[in-house]
Amino acid sequence: MAWNEIVCTIFLALGCVVTLTGSVGLVRMPDFYARLHTAGKTDSLAQLLILFGLVFVTPGPVDEIGGWLIRVKLLMVGMILIIAAPTATHAITKAAHLSGLKPWTKTDPGGEPK
Amino acid sequence: MTTIVIIDTLLLLLVTATAIAIIEVRSLYASAMLTSVYSLLMALVWVNMHSMDVAFTEAAVGGGISTILLIGTLVHLPREEKKLKKRLHAPAAITCALAGAALIYGTLDMPNFGDPMAPIHHYRVPEMMSQTVGFINQTKGKQPAPEGFDPYAYRTFNGAVQGIPKDPTDTAWRETSIIAQRGIMVPQVLTPGHEPHHEAGHHLHPPDDFNGHIPNSVTSLLAGYRGYDTMFETTVIFTAGVSLIMLLRRPRREGEAQKSAPMTDQVILRVVTKMSIPFILLFGLYVITHGELGPGGGFQGGVVLACGFILFALVFGRPALYRVLPPRVTDVLTGVGVLIYSGTGAACLFFGGKFLDYSALNAASPGEGEALGMTLVEYGVGITVSMVMLTIFNQLAEEQSK
Amino acid sequence: MFDVQANLPVLIVTIPLIGGILTILTGRGWKPWAWATLLTGTIFYLTLRLIVAVWASKTGIVSYELGNWPRQWGIEYRVDALNSFILCIVAGVGFLTTIYAKCSVEKEVPADRHNFFYAVWVLALCGLLGITITGDAFNVYVLLEISSLTVYALVAMGKDTHRGALTASLRYLILGSVGASFILLGIGYLMMITGTLNMQDMHDRLHSVPGILQSKTVLVAFAFLVVGLGIKMAMFPLHMWLPRAYTYAPSAVSALLSATATKVGVYMTFRFLFTIFGVGFSFMTMPTTWVLALCASAGIIVTGVTALRQTNLKRMLAYSSVGQLGYIILGFSLANVNGVAGSVAHILNHALMKGGMFMALGAVFYRMNRVDLRSVRGLGRRMPFTMAAFVLGGLGLVGFPLTAGFISKWYLVQGCLDRPHMWPLAGVVLVGSLLAVVYTWRVVEAAYFQEPDPGAPPVTEAPTLMLVPMWILIGASVYFGIDATGTSKITVTAAKALLGGS
Amino acid sequence: MTASVLGIYNYWIYVLLMMIGLYGVIAKPNLIKQAIALGLFQTGIFLYYISMAVIDGGTAPVWTTIQDGAQKFEGPYDNPLPHVLILTAIVVSVSVLAVALALIINIKRRYGTIEADEIDEIDQADRLAEYAAGQAFDAADEAEAEAQPAIRAAAAAAAHAGHAHPGSHV
């Protein structure tokens, strides 16, 4: 196993673990806002980790433009994700807030109709 | 069990579950969102089956545009479907079971999944693919063939290179060729004089041809061999756009302001949209242009372009969009795309070729002509697709603001 | 310039394509109509040239390879006696209906979208012509979708007259899409097993590679293609979309559809059953003859009886159309020369008669704003030419001697008697004719022997622009009934080519 | 052509998807659901076509880039033809969806509902009204129109209900 593959594996594994925690949170959290909170954050991070890991195993020699083209593309996808994913989460949350969804609290558990 | 089959099985399980949920869930919004999920899963299935172009289209069309259209329609429809008395519709279930059983019965005689010996892999398509290829370097243009390379040879299964027999009736070579052995789509070159499975009187497309210019064979098939289908596919899109205008557009009265609420209070959305729209449009153009080299092309790029405009309309309101792109302009542009396509075909007629015979466009270098024709055609498709998608969205949204 | 003669087949489809798109730019008023008339007239002229070219060629086949790709790899246009004939019908009726459409469309479609309407109209013709001319299985599917989408939109344009047009269109859309998907699936199964998309090539593969024709895949492909095509050509139990679509569509659209759309569906069936699968497989190995003949006979009787009970005359004609399609299906299901020739001849005759009759009803609607049995009372005197055309068309449906309907029914009865144990079908043909007598007589009675409604508006004869195309169609149907040598030659040649040639 | 279950079960999933879609089209009265189900039905067929293109151990049919003038043959490539056909079919399916949605919007406007069974009832009522109009006039004729203004009024009302006025769309 070459060094780049090891680095990639670590990043991918990290990404998968983070996604998994997000998914667990999605199921376990009590209301809409908390669920979106876990899902939105972990997804952004996990996707970044996975993309970054993939940069290391991109085929093509390091000194050639072809290989770097793909690497740069991967990083650009990451950039878009950094901007787009939180914005989407924000938009959804705001829409929910504007349409009158109350957040869950310990004293008032009726935040979301089950 | 290959990896592809294992991943495929997992994905298809998810897809099936989603499909059942789409049909069974009562909320129409949930159904529409699940359709998007379904399309994205489908796109994954297709990536797994190495069909990048289809995956891209499915993600853009199914996951993107279709969902936008559905949601746009649902805005002024009831949110939920009516509660049904019976859970299961027995006649429908029986019909489906019978039809499904018939279809499965039909698969029993099919070649196995992934079987390289399936007729479709070694009958016509390899010939199609092998007909024309040149030696092209992406950055440096055309290159001479390497030393010792026989352009009129095929490769056998064990990698040996053999010449094609000169006798056109001798087709035994195909049995030992890599095509027949493993169904491999290897670009090969046939001699202009040697035309197997081929009636006399045809001129083959020149060996210096587009497969070299256009490494993405999906694009070369799409715009070349089946370019005529693609022209009508673009026309289908155009027809849909015109039909929507015809069915939904209201007669515009003088002085009637277009009502549409821009999201004035959504600062974050507005800023992010402003930042990202140029990149979305750039990406759309990139996809259209890059279709010859990798996955992508007119449809995918056109849809991405349309998504850029639709995002603009959603956040800043349709009046703002109409200032940038008045309906009259989009109406005309929808037609312009198809006209570019069919015009390219007609131009081939005027240059003495047959309809859509792009090689007629450049008498000196037919291969360049092919590449030129395909590029033009891709742009035509891109223009029509983006403008029609935008028109469809506008018409559905116009309805909702009433 | 280029060689028109050499490029005839492709021009027939691309001229309406390019012209149809340009229609949008023609603006308001009479201009879109004039442009559409010019286009369809040009196409009709080109199809006439093509039919001459086909008969002049030695092989009887004109082939055109698009993009100059060899036909097995690219897409081929293949024109023989049969489809040059159908092309001519579609283009000719399309031309006449376009002329006719002016008044009807002015009345029934909002003025600000006439250019879009005619664009869709011409594209619909483009799709229908494309299906008829192509020799490539997948190309059929794409053009089928063009013609279907345009027709859904055209039918829905009847919405300003009656809201039923919308549901009719949506129902047609869903059924039509399911049918088209079945066709796509059938093509996929065939492609999987043969490895090619060219129809002729498929046929050769099916019949040259041992074991393919007996495989379950081909069997299922055949079944699904027949169901899909059955939906598209409104074969009896699958005809549910047709009556509503014809009833609520704008008058001109009804005339165009009844004369062309289902006929092209029948043509597709010819191509798939005869050209791809071959007569031996379609009619000897598979029980197609029995299934289709049963569906057709049931269709003739049931729709005849249903037509009797209709007060809306457009709906009556729509049901009658399903019945008349039954004759066409009955003819080719016999798989003998007389039967198939009768079927091909009836495609022409029914297109002429039904097109003319729908035009007459459109003229009634133009004047009276409705087309039920009551509204035609006394019209025999007020709109003599319109009603005379309707009655002559009705006589054709009956199969009265000296009308074209007689010729095709003659062939059909001959075909029934040629097959052993098929003579009851000849009886079905006669019963169907009797039913046609009854439902036509109801109109005759109302138009000529009853007084006009006291409340009915005083009306005059329909505009000349409606009468002329109507009478050309009806006149042609009478002419082909009197002098049938030309059509007989074509239909018998086409039938022989279908049965023996491939 | 011996097929093992393992070899062809992949095709069965497409049948399953298609049938889920077809069930939705037939069983669901909601028009939006029907339109969506039609989409599922079509994707089932797309899946079949794409499955057909797969070759064991194949890669995407994009010719490997050429380096230093030497063409690098890397294969096997999957069959690109079905991909091309399905690109066409996907575009067709989205066009059909768009037209269906436009029709559904119009239907909602004119019928006030998008449930097929309710629409059928309304259509049935339309036709009955149309028919009753004809009958009523017949009756009126026989018993002399002037003597029975009530029937005539009823018929006129029924006819009015049956026919929306041209150009009266909201």
Residue with token string 């901007």: A83
What is the domain count for chain D?
Answer: 2
Q: How many CB pairs under 8 A join A and B?
A: 16
B97 within a domain of the structure (yes/no): no
Helix (H) / strand (E) containing C76: strand C76-79
Distance separating alpha carbons of residues C226 and B124, to the nearest angstrom: 26
Q: Are residues D103 and D149 in the same domain?
A: no
Residue B248 has, within 13 A of its CA and on its CB side, a CA count of: 30
Name the residue of chain C whose CA is nearest to B349's CA. Answer: C2
- Choose among C48, C41, C56, C37: nearest CA to C8: C48
Q: What is the pLDDT of chain B when averaged over all its residues?
A: 75
Which among C68, C75, C221 has CB closest to B229?
C75
Residue ranges making up the domain that contains B382: 219-251+262-400
What is the domain count for chain B?
Answer: 3
CATH of the domain at B35: 1.20.120.1200
Name the residue of chain A whose CA is nearest to B279's CA. Answer: A80
pLDDT at C502: 43
Among A45-49, B174-178, D62-66, which range has the highest average pLDDT? A45-49
Q: At what angle do helices D116-142 and D80-111 cross, to 10 degrees?
A: 50
Could you tell me which residues are beta bridge partners of residue C312? C372
D156 within a domain of the structure (yes/no): yes
Q: Are residues D100 and D145 in the same domain?
A: no
> End of a domain among B25, B57, B81?
B81
The alpha-helical segments, DSSP class H, found in B60-172 are: 67-74, 90-107, 119-122, 125-130
**How does DSSP classify residue B353?**
S
Any chain D CB within 8 A of the CB of C196? Answer: no
Please give, rounded to a whole number of angstroms, the shortest distance from the CA of C406 to a CA of chain D. Answer: 33
What is the domain count for chain C?
Answer: 1
Q: Are residues B236 and B328 in the same domain?
A: yes
Q: Are residues D81 and D132 in the same domain?
A: no
CB B381 within 8 A of CB B234: yes
Chain C CB contacts of B203 under 8 Å are 68
What would the pLDDT profile of D60-69 be if each residue is shown by its tens digit? 777 654 443 4
Q: Which percentage of chain B shows pLDDT scores above 70?
A: 70
Q: Are residues D48 and D95 in the same domain?
A: yes
Distance separating alpha carbons of residues B129 and B149, to the nearest angstrom: 19
Which among B110, B203, B332 has CB closest to C192?
B110
Cβ–Cβ below 8 Å for B269 and A91: yes
What would the pLDDT profile of B178-217 be if each residue is shown by its tens digit? 443 333 333 333 333 333 333 333 333 443 344 445 677 7
Q: Are strands C62-65 and C76-79 parallel, antiparallel or unpaired?
A: antiparallel
Q: Are residues B223 and B191 in the same domain?
A: no
- Choose among D87, C98, C152: nearest CA to B240: C152
Any chain C CB within 8 A of the CB of D11? Answer: no
What would the pLDDT profile of B240-280 be if each residue is shown by its tens digit? 999 999 888 876 654 445 555 666 677 888 888 888 899 99
Please give, rounded to a whole number of angstroms, the shortest distance from the CA of B101 to a CA of chain A. Answer: 37
Q: Are residues B245 and B391 in the same domain?
A: yes
D67 within a domain of the structure (yes/no): no
Q: Are residues D102 and D121 in the same domain?
A: no
Q: Are residues D167 and D107 in the same domain?
A: no
Q: Which percentage of chain B shows pLDDT scores above 90?
A: 29
CB C443 within 8 A of CB C314: no
B109 within a domain of the structure (yes/no): no
> End of a domain among B35, B52, B81?
B81
Our CA angle for C264, C268, C274, nearest 5°, is 135
Query: Which residue of A87, A90, A97, A99 to mutate against B (max B Cβ within 10 Å)?
Result: A87
For the segment B206-235, the average pLDDT, to the nearest whole number, is 73
pLDDT at B120: 78
What distance lies between CA C146 and its chain's CA centroid?
16
Task: Give the CA distances from residue C117 to residues B191, B274, B390, in Å, rounded to whole numbers and listed in that order.
Answer: 51, 38, 20
Length of chain A: 114
C135 within a domain of the structure (yes/no): no
Please provide the DSSP assignment of B25-47 as one string. -SBHHHHHHHHHHHHHHHHHHHH
Query: Which residue of A64, A77, A94, A99 to mutate against B (max B Cβ within 10 Å)?
Result: A94
Q: Are residues D19 and D102 in the same domain?
A: yes
Please say if the pLDDT value at position A43 is more than 60. Answer: yes
What would the pLDDT profile of B327-353 be if each residue is shown by its tens digit? 889 988 999 999 999 999 999 888 887
D64 within a domain of the structure (yes/no): no
C97 within a domain of the structure (yes/no): no
Distance separating alpha carbons of residues B203 and B169, to the nearest angstrom: 18
CB C318 within 8 A of CB C262: no
Q: What is the pLDDT of chain A when averaged over all its residues?
A: 82
B133 pLDDT tier (thresholds 50, 70, 90): very low
The SS3 call for residue B191 is: coil
CATH of the domain at D87: 1.10.287.3510
Touching A: which chains, 3+ CB pairs < 8 A?
B
C417 within a domain of the structure (yes/no): yes
Q: Which two tokens stand for residue D67?
A: 């380096």
D29 within a domain of the structure (yes/no): yes
Question: What is the rounded radius of gyration, in angstroms, for the C-alpha atoms of chain B?
Answer: 25
The neighbour count for residue D28, using CB atoms within 10 Å, is 24
What would the pLDDT profile of B276-303 be if each residue is shown by its tens digit? 899 999 999 999 988 877 788 889 999 9
Distance separating alpha carbons of residues C89 and C355, to the nearest angstrom: 11
Q: Are residues D153 and D124 in the same domain?
A: yes
Of D152 and B240, the structure prediction assigns the larger pLDDT to B240
For the segment D152-166, the average pLDDT, to the nearest whole number, is 50
Distance separating alpha carbons of residues C195 and C189, to the nearest angstrom: 10
SS3 readout for C88-153? HHHHHHHHHHHHHHHHHHHHHCCHHHHHHHHHHHHHHHHHHHHHHHECEHHHHHHHHHHHHHHHHH
Our CA angle for C305, C307, C311, nearest 5°, is 130
> End of a domain among B195, B210, B237?
B195
B256 within a domain of the structure (yes/no): no
Q: Which amino acid is residue C243, in one-letter code?
A: P
Any chain D CB within 8 A of the CB of C240? Answer: no
CB B308 within 8 A of CB B230: no
Any chain D CB within 8 A of the CB of B244? Answer: yes
Q: pLDDT tens string for chain C (502 positions)?
A: 678 888 889 999 999 999 999 998 888 888 999 999 999 999 999 999 999 999 998 888 888 888 777 777 788 899 988 989 999 999 999 999 999 999 888 888 888 888 899 999 999 999 999 999 999 999 999 999 999 999 999 999 988 888 889 999 999 999 999 999 999 999 999 998 888 888 988 888 888 777 778 888 899 999 999 999 999 988 888 888 999 999 999 999 999 999 899 899 999 999 999 989 988 888 888 888 888 999 999 999 999 999 988 888 999 999 999 999 999 999 989 888 889 999 999 999 999 999 999 999 999 999 888 888 888 888 888 888 999 999 999 999 888 888 888 888 888 988 888 888 888 888 888 899 999 999 999 889 888 888 887 777 778 888 888 999 999 999 999 998 888 888 888 888 889 888 875 4
Which among D85, D103, D133 has CB closest to C138?
D85
Residue B73 has, within 13 A of its CA and on its CB side, a CA count of: 31
D169 within a domain of the structure (yes/no): yes
Q: Which amino acid is residue B209, in one-letter code?
A: D
Q: Are residues B133 and B41 in the same domain?
A: no
D139 within a domain of the structure (yes/no): yes
Could you tell me which residues are beta bridge partners of residue D59? D77
Distance separating alpha carbons of residues B107 and D9, to the nearest angstrom: 9
Residue with token string 């009956």: C398
B110 within a domain of the structure (yes/no): no
C328 within a domain of the structure (yes/no): yes
Name the residue of chain A whose CA is nearest to B269's CA. Answer: A87
A108 pLDDT tier (thresholds 50, 70, 90): low
For the segment B61-73, the average pLDDT, to the nearest whole number, is 90
Residue ranges making up the domain that contains C316: 287-502
Q: Are residues D92 and D27 in the same domain?
A: yes
Q: Are residues D93 and D159 in the same domain?
A: no
Cβ–Cβ below 8 Å for D39 and B28: no
pLDDT at D168: 38
Residue with token string 């899902």: A39
Q: Phi/psi zone of residue A60: left (φ > 0), alpha (ψ -120 to 50 degrees), beta? A: left
Q: Are residues B185 and B266 in the same domain?
A: no
Q: Which two tokens stand for residue C30?
A: 């009479």
Distance separating alpha carbons of residues C289 and B229, to the nearest angstrom: 33
Residue ranges making up the domain that contains D40: 13-58+77-114
B204 within a domain of the structure (yes/no): no
Q: Are residues D101 and D33 in the same domain?
A: yes
**How does DSSP classify residue C27?**
-
- Choose among B367, B393, B383, B390: nearest CA to B288: B383
Name the residue of chain C whose CA is nearest to B113's CA. Answer: C192
Name the residue of chain D whose CA is nearest to B155's CA. Answer: D73
CB C45 within 8 A of CB C15: no
pLDDT at B171: 52
Q: Which two tokens stand for residue B378?
A: 């891709």
Distance separating alpha carbons of residues C237 and C299, to the nearest angstrom: 7
Q: At what angle do helices B366-400 and B267-290 cross, to 10 degrees?
A: 150
Q: Are residues D110 and D120 in the same domain?
A: no
The neighbour count for residue A104, using CB atoms within 10 Å, is 18
pLDDT at A109: 60
Please give, rounded to a whole number of angstroms, the shortest distance from the CA of C132 to a CA of chain D. Answer: 20
D144 within a domain of the structure (yes/no): yes
